[in-house]
């Protein structure tokens, strides 16, 4: 009976230790941005022709990057993409959305015929409490990946690209 109690106590301590160690590896955001940034905003866009695509672009103006950190990715509204840094003065995250996207899904009773179909990507659950006007930026500093949050992204008006010109016959 004493051995069973000792075994149970040992297993309980091991489980508690594992749970506590997992909490320490959770991703944490920095209290402030490691670089000086301007007013960040996002803008939805849509192609002017059917199947032309649509998306949301996030613009992060970089005023000063004295520590020369490398911006990596942006997480916004449940999705994540790599950031494009242009002229070291602006970083852009380009999210594609399903609105106005050409859907080429092959439905067949032959399993190999459906091989090229795209599977819906899962929504990122790393930051479940992000609001629609918040994003998280990941960056590399001294070979470590760190994160900081941007609050109150402003939304610019929808950018609707014009349709393709008509063929003259």
Q: What value does the mean pLDDT take over residues 17-44?
A: 70
What does the pLDDT read at residue 116?
Answer: 61
What are the pLDDT digits (tens) for 54-107? 889 999 999 998 888 889 999 988 888 999 998 889 999 998 887 655 555 666
Q: The tokens 């070979």 sit on which residue?
A: 143
Higher pLDDT, 23 or 10: 10
pTM of the full structure:
0.67
Among 168, 117, 146, 136, residue whose Cα is nearest residue 58: 136
Higher pLDDT, 75 or 13: 75
The predicted-structure confidence for 117-142, as pLDDT tens digits, reads as follows 555 444 455 666 788 889 999 998 88
What is the rounded end-to-end Cα distance, in angstroms, of the chain? 94
Please answer whether residues 56 and 117 qualify as being in contact, where contact means their C-beta atoms are separated by less than 8 angstroms. Answer: no
In the chain, the domains with their CATH numbers are 30-102+126-163 (2.60.40)
More confident of the two residues 38 and 118 = 38
Most confident stretch, 27-36, 89-98, 111-120: 89-98
Give the pLDDT mean for 25-47.
81
């Amino acid at each position: 009976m004493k051995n069973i109690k000792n075994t149970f106590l040992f297993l309980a301590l091991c489980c508690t230790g594992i749970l506590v160690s997992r909490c320490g590896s959770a991703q944490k955001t920095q209290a402030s941005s490691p670089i000086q940034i301007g007013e960040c905003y996002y803008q939805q866009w849509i192609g002017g022709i059917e199947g032309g695509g649509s998306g949301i672009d996030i613009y992060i103006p970089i005023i000063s990057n004295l520590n020369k950190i490398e911006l990596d990715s942006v997480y916004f509204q449940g999705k994540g993409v790599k950031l494009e840094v242009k002229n070291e003065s602006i970083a852009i995250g380009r999210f594609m959305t399903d609105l106005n996207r050409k859907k080429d899904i092959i439905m067949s009773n032959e399993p190999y015929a459906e091989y090229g179909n795209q599977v819906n990507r899962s929504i990122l659950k790393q930051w479940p409490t992000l609001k629609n006007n918040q994003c998280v930026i990941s960056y590399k500093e001294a070979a470590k990946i760190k994160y900081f949050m941007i609050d109150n992204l402003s939304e610019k008006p929808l950018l609707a690209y014009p349709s393709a010109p008509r063929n003259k016959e």
